[in-house]
Amino acid sequence: MALRRTTKQKIYRYAVYAILIALVVWAAVTTNWAKIGPLFFNFDVAVKMFPGIITTALVNTLWFTAVAFIGGLVLGVILALLKLSSIGPFRWIATVWIELFRGLPAILTIFGVAFIVPIATGIRGQQLGGPVVLGLIGLILVASAYMAETIRAGIQAVPKGQTEAARSLGLSPMKTTFWIIVPQGFRIIIPPLTNEFVLLLKDTSLLFIAGSFIWSKELTTFARDATTQNSNATPLIMAAILYLLVTIPLTRFTAYLERRMSRQR
Amino acid sequence: MITDLIDVHAPAIDLQGLVKSFGDNEVLKGIDLTVTKGEVVCIIGPSGSGKSTLLRSVNLLEEPTGGKVLIEGIDITDPDVDIDRVRTRIGMVFQSFNLFPHLDVMGNLMIAQQRVKKRSKAEAERVAKEMLGRVGLAEKADAFPGHLSGGQQQRVAIARALCMNPDMMLFDEPTSALDPELVGEVLQVMRSLADEGMTMLVVTHEMGFAREVGSRLIFMDGGHIVEEGDPREVLGNPQHPRTQDFLARVL
């Protein structure tokens, strides 16, 4: 006697649930809670982290992210327009730039800028306000390459008829780009740009490679140093929670925007 | 200053030996066409005949490969001519409306007035309201294009062109993208424009409009003007076999 298809599906689903629960129970039983508790969730160590983990570390992380995002955005718009230019050398410069900084690991670019620039030009990070400034320049380069491609896609998604209508009204190419194309392109790319912001926020953890002062520590560096000083990993857990408190609302917001846009079309 | 040099007696549009190629494909093969002020010239022809390319050459949305485009006596293919300035005098209406979706109706009507004609906000608003009234959509001032019907969008597009106070209007199949029941309202607006003496060059499939409103009808095929004349004559008694063949298929 054959079972009904829905009954079969039900049995299959309960089997999957049972396996999942068994795995979780197994992990919980075999884990050494006595060791993990004090090492990763130590209340005394946690209290010592305040207020520095907020006022220095989180603020620096947000601040560095904002600088890299805005810098990357401005450069990204320029690169996108160069990439769409009818002039060959402009396109080539943009292509080389984008391929280079997308192709390299971000940590290498940051390292490269932080160490090659001082040797090549004699300008030291300290003269610019700290080694982190050179690191941020590296991060801006990385951000600009990713954002340029996103922005280019947004601009190209605006129908050609929009340019024609604008030009037929007497708007110059510059005015058409600024008043008609870019505003429409940006609407399209708000979700991917929010994503880019989240990626950058996490990439600020790579800035340590450029070297840091006490005042310029971001979340990861702050937590790592605090972990070493206290011989306790609680600061890392706190940093993780702080990252998630910022990134999860942002990714939820992106998902909301994407849903809303797919409804409009 | 181009405007200072305008010859008041010159024809509105004067195309001389106009040639346009896309790669090896020659779409316009030497067009001569003169449109005098106040004329309503309709262009018909099979798809691929070059009629849209011809229209788009008049305001240089298509750069001609050869020949001249004279607008009110000035050759605008001359690279020294400020084409943006010329375009403010030539209104254009597209098949797919091409309203700016990120701006509301007033925004659509005001942006070029403010950014190109440098009109004050108040002045641009006044002109926009006046033109919106002319196309019968005064109550839609705050609507966004996405919330309007095709017919309403096309009327807004006509109003947007009129806001620049053009001397002439180009229509590129303005009713082809519309549902049949919405065609009438757009033709009505175009008819009233013609009645007010606007110079118009219209690429269309609306034979009724061409017959009743047009002062001249042009039949194009294969990049040539094959036949032209009084619309009633051309439609009622076509001389050229290709015109006869085309009209037999569409009428």
pLDDT (tens digit, 0 to 9) for every residue of chain A, 265 residues total? 567 888 888 899 999 999 999 999 999 888 888 888 888 888 887 778 888 888 888 998 999 999 999 999 999 999 999 999 889 999 999 999 999 999 999 999 999 998 888 888 877 767 777 788 889 999 999 999 999 999 999 999 999 999 999 999 999 999 999 999 988 988 888 889 999 999 999 999 998 888 777 778 889 998 899 889 888 888 899 999 999 999 999 989 888 887 876 655 4
Whether this model's pTM surpasses 0.90? no
Question: Do B112 and A161 count as a contact with CB atoms less than 8 A apart?
Answer: no
Question: Helix H segments across A50-171?
Answer: 52, 59-83, 88-103, 106-121, 125-128, 131-156, 160-168
For B109, name the nearest residue in chain A, comparing CA atoms only.
Answer: A169
The answer to whether the Cβ–Cβ distance between B102 and A184 falls below 8 Å is yes
Nearest CA-CA partner of B65 in B74, B52, B54, B73: B54
- pLDDT given at position B7: 66
Distance, CA of B10 to CA of B8 (rounded, Å)? 6
Contact yes or no for A170 and B94 at CB 8 A: no
CA A27, A28, A29, A32 dihedral sign is positive
- From the list A162, A164, A170, the residue facing B112 with the nearest CB is A170
pLDDT at B1 over 50: no
Which of chain B's residues have a Cβ under 8 Å away from the Cβ of A166?
A: 100, 112
d(CA B179, CA B188): 15
Q: Are strands B224-229 and B216-221 parallel, antiparallel or unpaired?
A: antiparallel
Query: What residues in B contact A159, CB-CB < 8 Å?
Result: 98
Phi and psi, residue B72, nearest 5°: 50, 40
Which of A175, A187, A264 faces B115 most closely, judged by CB atoms?
A: A175
Quick one: pLDDT at residue A127? 73
Chain A to chain B Cβ contacts (< 8 Å): 61
How close A169 comes to chain B (CA, Å)? 6
B164 and A161: CB-CB below 8 Å? Answer: no
Smallest CA–CA distance from A167 into chain B, residue: B84
Which chain A residue shows the shortest CA-CA distance from B115?
A171
Tell me if chain B has a CB within 8 Å of the CB of A167: yes
Average pLDDT, chain B: 94
Parallel, antiparallel, or unpaired: how do β-strands B13-22 and B168-172 relate? unpaired
ipTM of this complex prediction, to 2 decimal places: 0.93
